[in-house]
Copies of this chain bind each other. A is one copy, B any other.
Amino acid sequence: MIIIMKNNSEEKDVEKVVSRVKELGYDTHLSQGKTKTIIGIIGDLDREELIDSLAAYPEIDRLVPIQEPYKLANKSFKDSETVINIDDVVIGGKDIVIMAGPCAVESEEQIINTAKAVKRSGAKVLRGGAFKPRTSPYSFQGLHETGLKLLQKAARETGLKIVTEVMDPRDVELVGKYTDIFQIGARNMQNYFLLKEVGITDKPVLLKRGMSATYKELLMAAEYIMSSGNQKVILCERGIRTFEEYTRNTLDLVSIPVLKKSTHLPIVIDPSHATGHWDLVGSAAKGAVAMGVDGLIIEVHPEPARALSDGEQSLKFSKFDKLLSELKDISRVVGRNI
């Protein structure tokens, strides 16, 4: 960390700060400019506590962290890309893994038909919510354990793996009985107790970026899971909030190459929640594949106009099937498989 003192700071101000840093057990390195004095702190110490307390000194202009605050998720700290195996499904390898299914599990017929359809088109993982985060307490909140059982049934009939959201730390055990991958929703990206709870399981976690989170905050949320013991984190970009009202969110596709530079974890894109319109999903998915994504999570519903949740952003079976064949062509050009 670097401490930038206020303009024309006096020697006694500098000494005061230096002595506080030394008291905390660190060495310093002074650099005297024309108007600014800069104090480098030697050691591993971009800790929030240190920043918080040093920032309170009125003699200091500001603090500049030097190290990225995430360690286990950091590309610099691990030699190879993280590859997550769930039986024969490999996330983070050459295959681009397609996860598909309805926003919410609504009925046995709905989920089983959808599972069969998406499997046929090439999906490897079945998505579907049993616990639904809804803005309104008066909206459909999911079928809960009944939904989990239906997901399991659909998965068994098709051989698909399951990804489903868990929202309450008390439900991690229950959801873990049925799912192959835990999903942490955007609203819970900084629900630290939930992160820690999935962090002590051994199942992969699909961690969605918060609505207005930065990359660093996303990686710090991953760090919560990883520092609890679970290294199998899959990052998911699902659109961020911007001023644009036409789309539900603004999909940040450049997150793909940025995260590939910053971390060894695999990256998945959710074009359905990001755009909020079924007729934008295909284009967004194509962009993601061309840009090096490791997976896509797409909403598919047998009859979107009768969906209990997010119908507008769901694809019908036929559109999904056509999209997947187009994605295969693009994936081939960029050296990947679907």
A: residues with CB less than 8 A from B are 2, 4, 7, 20, 29, 31, 33-36, 38, 40, 42-44, 47-49, 52-58, 64, 66-67, 69, 76, 133-140, 167-170, 187-188, 190-193, 196, 211-212, 214-217, 220, 223-224, 227-228, 240-247, 250-254, 256-258, 261, 274-275, 278-280, 283-284, 286-292, 304-312, 314, 329-330, 332-334
Contact = CB atoms under 8 A, between A and B. Distances in A.
B64 A64 contact: yes
Contact of A33 (B66, B188, B244, B334): B66
Contact of A330 (B220, B290, B292): B290
A286 B217 CA distance: 27
Contacts of A35: 67
A325 to B, nearest CB: 11
A13 B57 CA distance: 35
A7 B76 contact: yes
A52 B308 contact: yes
B137 A223 contact: yes
State the 5 A-B residue pairs at the shortest beta-carbon distance, nearest first.
A56-B311, A55-B312, A290-B290, A287-B287, A212-B212
B52 A190 contact: no
A152 to B, nearest CB: 22
Contacts of A43: 34
A307 B49 CA distance: 8
A261 B227 CA distance: 41
14 contacts: A2-B2, A2-B38, A47-B136, A56-B278, A64-B64, A135-B220, A137-B192, A169-B170, A243-B243, A247-B258, A250-B250, A257-B279, A257-B280, A286-B291
Contacts of A279: 58, 257, 261
A52 B307 contact: yes
Given A48-B134, A289-B290, A256 B283 contact: yes
The CB with the most chain B CB atoms within 10 A, among A42, A227, A241, A274, is that of A241
A243 B244 contact: no
Contact of A136 (B7, B48, B306, B332): B48
A306 B54 CA distance: 8
Contacts of A140: 48-49
Contacts of A241: 212, 243
Contacts of A312: 52, 55-56
A33 B42 contact: yes
Nearest to A301: B56
Contacts of A138: 47-48, 69, 227
Contacts of A38: 2, 40, 66
Given A287-B287, A290-B290, 6 more contacts: A53-B308, A56-B307, A137-B192, A137-B223, A214-B244, A330-B333
Given A56-B307, A56-B314, A64-B64, A254 B250 contact: yes
